[in-house]
Structure 1
Amino acid sequence: MHFSKYISKREAEEIAKSKIKKISLTPTAHKQTPDTTIRFLKEKGIEIEVLQRRGRPRKLGKEEITKIMAARQEGLSFYRISKMFNIPKSTIFDYYKRNKHLKINNEEIEEIKVKEAKKLFEKIITNSSNEKIKQLAIEGIRANSQEDIEFILRGIISYIN
């Protein structure tokens, strides 16, 4: 049984009568519950677990947060980052604000750029009917440096134009 608000003495007595062996509380509920009530529950053999996670679980994982921070560090606007990752601008801003302390080094930024470019090349291969463009995209997947990828992308753009 889980509680997100304090446990009253009456609720504690009902818990003891119902033969529940374990309850969980949020940190705030634990602070607000009187010590006498906590002692009473422990005397009755009820295990009390204080959960550390609070609030709604975060929407984005560490990898997405790193990408957002790297893009922002590269000077992209919140609007542009939002469009790039298809995430609402307010979410991007919120994560940026919460993770301002994270500084992504240049090697990590280049690694992220290369990984994202390879995803783009995979989409080009599956969606393009032009064999020359597909061949360039295959070369792009094999490339490991940002300079090589930029050169290949320029080649693809020249074929499109």
Structure 2
Amino acid sequence: SVQLLDGPLVEVAEDAVSEADGLGCPAGDDSSRQLGGCGFDVFWAPQASPESMRQEISMCLFERGYCVIRFLQSAGQLEGTMRAARDLKAKGTLIRMPEEVEEHYIGAHFPAKVAWLEPGETLQDELLTAMEINVEQLAGLIQEFAEDLLGDSLSDRTPGILALSLQDDEEEDW
């Protein structure tokens, strides 16, 4: 049995399963721990166990002092989130980060316009709100290990970032 990233469990022959390769990432960026050089450290699927997520994030924090997490959404969830992101774009809420810091905040090879998801801010999209709650829960999971990992206690976190990929014509303007 193989559990797909969007949830369903399917039966497949063992010889039909292989390790993911390439992941659609630009070649030649293996200089970091980041998954295949894709610009993120941990891929968060809905069925991921809190313990495995805690371990991966803790290791990343120990090695580099920060962790970039990418979340998976179903097609239906993605449609609603994209609508909310486009609404933010139309309102002028999304901005392009300065080139010097963009890679460090949202990962390599991912030019995007972003909006900070400020704590306490009312988000228009249920899934974005759920993701913020998940990140808060994860912060709680690693809080007890923060002093060993980072040399200090964990008392706060950077707000989440909503990133909307740039269209080809938008990237040329940058």
TM-score w.r.t. length of structure 2: 0.24
Higher RCO, Cα 8 Å, sep 6+: 2
